[in-house]
Amino acid sequence: MTRKEIELADLLRGTIEAMGFVLWGLEFRAHGKHNLLRIYIDREAGVLVDDCALVSRQVSGILDVEDPIAGEYNLEVSSPGIDRLLFALEQYATYVGEWVEIKLRSAFDGRRNFHGTLVGLEGDDVVVRIDDDEYVLPFESIDKAKVKPRF
């Protein structure tokens, strides 16, 4: 996560948790004059559209008062979905044995994209099996990771 994303997560986490949800993660993307803040919430019972609307209203109020984003932005609140992004190292442990797609910030072993089975964690590294090879990827090098369910 970027510094800005960490700052936003720290600002919003308490409110979201007080509402009975987990802040699964967030993405902040600058697109010229229009920025996008996408917040992912989760809870054991699942997330409904009404839940997203409720959290959106609360978060919007906080963002209006604190004003941490310069300029215009769109706010989206969503569940992580079935093919969820992974934001924190702890989240990977839940999905050991699942198919994942990982994109690195820079090449490792001559590649940036890894699609395979999540084997586990070794300290602060993520282990992925692709065919018969295992790759140990430093968590801090991961740009984006997503669980891809296989049916």
Q: Domains of the chain by range and CATH?
A: 3-78 (3.30.300.70), 89-147 (2.30.30.100)
- pLDDT tens column, 70-118: 888 999 999 999 999 999 999 999 999 999 999 999 998 899 999 999 9
Cα separation of 87 and 84, whole Å? Answer: 9
Q: Rounded to two decimals, what is the model's pTM?
A: 0.90
Residue 109: per-residue pLDDT? 85
Residue 2: per-residue pLDDT? 86
Across 112-133, average pLDDT: 97
SS3 90: helix
Q: Which helix (H) or strand (E) holds 8?
A: helix 3-18
